[in-house]
Structure 1
């Protein structure tokens, strides 16, 4: 009877740690985007203190616009990195999309919307090609998409020069369908003293959709699984090939969206545009908590990483600092983010 009476006490003393509740602080610190959020707050406070124009509420729209042009691509690139892959062609792919829409519509005398739709097909096809070639060759996505990067860069310049005689497309602002297409891809809305570009809306919507898919759906579980261990994921029935190709196609879709804004914001596209931006998208995702090894990360964090870029790019100018140091900032942020992300993941795995 004595032994029986002491069993409940013994059970309470040896409670299973797997079902122990964690404090709110512990749960927050285990989130992959926590580092980028802290970084964004620090940078915001820094430029609020040292740059007078940064405090002007009318400049909020300009800051968010710069962040949105990065965030639209950082979100799918972040998803792809969580899935264990890279896409080094993302920057020039957006330019390819804008060039395709403009050149097709102009040279064939078509409604601008026909060029827009065909450009979507081209962009998604480029993404699908990257994914297909990845599995067909077994090469790392770094090499596959690096090859695509050079192919698209050459095609962008060569085809544009062949059809137009220079390195930029013709102005399509007087063509049928341009006005309605510009309202979709290049419009803006005034909210009091703040003017917001439509890209800010697209950026927010893409972030919310991607976060929901990643955290609340079966597809999100697949993305984490294929990024963590593709062989183990395949063994339990996860469609690894379809998941990764789908992620590359998502990058292609967002490249189309970015390319359409580029075209309808400026009415023309420079064929050399986009080179180097792929690294900014990747860095934004890493700052946001995405590990280079895959299987871990946050699209909300990737968006916060894009916001950090938007604030820093303009904050440096507003503060009157030498903009040559911006590249140094990118390198420092990448290294710090990588260290912080690994540390946070190790802490989360131990709890």
Structure 2
């Protein structure tokens, strides 16, 4: 999660209160810039949730994970990012020790849940592309439901449990001012939480995508061979072959989309979790500004996920446009009926 930060300097121990170092212009700029990011996160993810809930065509096992992912990312924008924005801009925490603890717990839980969902989407796509004959068995409703429970239960256990019981700071003898909300953690928690929240899901995504990539290349060769046969005069069952080619094309596009999503995920989360593990072993000497930059890079991943789906998935693009037309034009009934009835 985004609040695994472990930053501290000796001067903080001596401070009785926080000090706002930014000037008025930079504070206004940061508030505007970060507020735009928060609005994009909430609106974009809400559109994904609304699209899947409203249109039956989008209600598939894969999109069950997409919808739950969007819920997690939307909550990041609603309950985590606004408080983090104030803390980043002001350098102070105005909301009390208990809310600081709750904010840290929600930060860890929701960001970890978001990452878990991305690994489940990769796992789902692996079976769809590499083992299509057993896909319906492996990704049954009960299996999808179990994975969704895991996506929410494990992040909750590694966040609220240790944080509310102060297990994450066991052995850390550092006192912080009451108006500073810094999530300080010991070495054990930093390593274990980072492994569970990031490195394990990352490994699952990398393995799944590599297998999907190899399967897509193999399918492309099969399609090429089939087209050569058709060019030689084999015209029987051409409609069936056309459907098969279209299916393979869609699966390759899904693999490409997954690869881009995974690439973005690694770019925006890898810096944070790398420094997160290293920092306790260098006596919490990482600069605060470095933590803030890496923290907000991680938040940006929650902002980008819905736009990635909207950009690369034609069904989601159509759903977004229809939802827009529903509120901005009078031709919504026909569009909604057409979307839900066209397979």
Asked whether the two chains share a fold, i.e. TM above 0.5, the reply is no
Q: Which TM-score applies when normalising by structure 1?
A: 0.30
Highest relative contact order (Cα 8 Å, sep 6+), 1 or 2?
A: 1
Q: Which TM-score applies when normalising by structure 2?
A: 0.30
